[in-house]
Amino acid sequence: MTILIFKPSRCEQDKNLEEFIAFGKKQFSHQKRQYTWNDNVWAGLGTFIKFNSKYWENDNSMSAGFIDFAKAYIIYLRGLTKKKSLKREMIALKVIEASLIKIRGKACITDCNAMVFNFAINIMQKNIQ
């Protein structure tokens, strides 16, 4: 079992993120899949596209600064749960990305704060029944 130790410091956040993504890629490489890390459609796990997109096209994939985190997070969750579907988690990631873009102008997970999460909740309340 691999244990990641994140240092709760503003100056360590980029390093923590890099380590988390590297961890996700390593776990992903140990799994036999019919897709690669760089694919935006992972059969059975999710499609890494913008919120409210119906299907994948070249111009609607998640932001470059967010997609690797999202993929690492999904791989991390797959290791923690026996759930067959991570649909809710994928929606949450897409909404957080949309909120970050609206509030911060870019989608970097390390820029999250209470305002970003509150706006994400507003997006969900308005768009998801």
* Residue 42 resides in a domain: yes
Residue 13 CB neighbour total at 10 angstroms: 16
1: pLDDT strictly greater than 60:
no
* Residue 2 resides in a domain: no
> Which domain does 81 fall in, by range?
11-127
Residue 46 bridge partners (DSSP): 42
Read off φ and ψ for residue 41, nearest 5 degrees.
-120, 115
Q: How far apart are CA 55 and CA 47, in angstroms?
A: 8
Q: How far apart are CA 71 and CA 68, in angstroms?
A: 5
The 10s digit of each residue's pLDDT in 32-73 is: 778 899 999 888 888 999 998 877 777 889 999 899 999 999
For the chain, what is the domain count?
Answer: 1
Helix (H) or strand (E) holding 96, with range, is helix 87-104
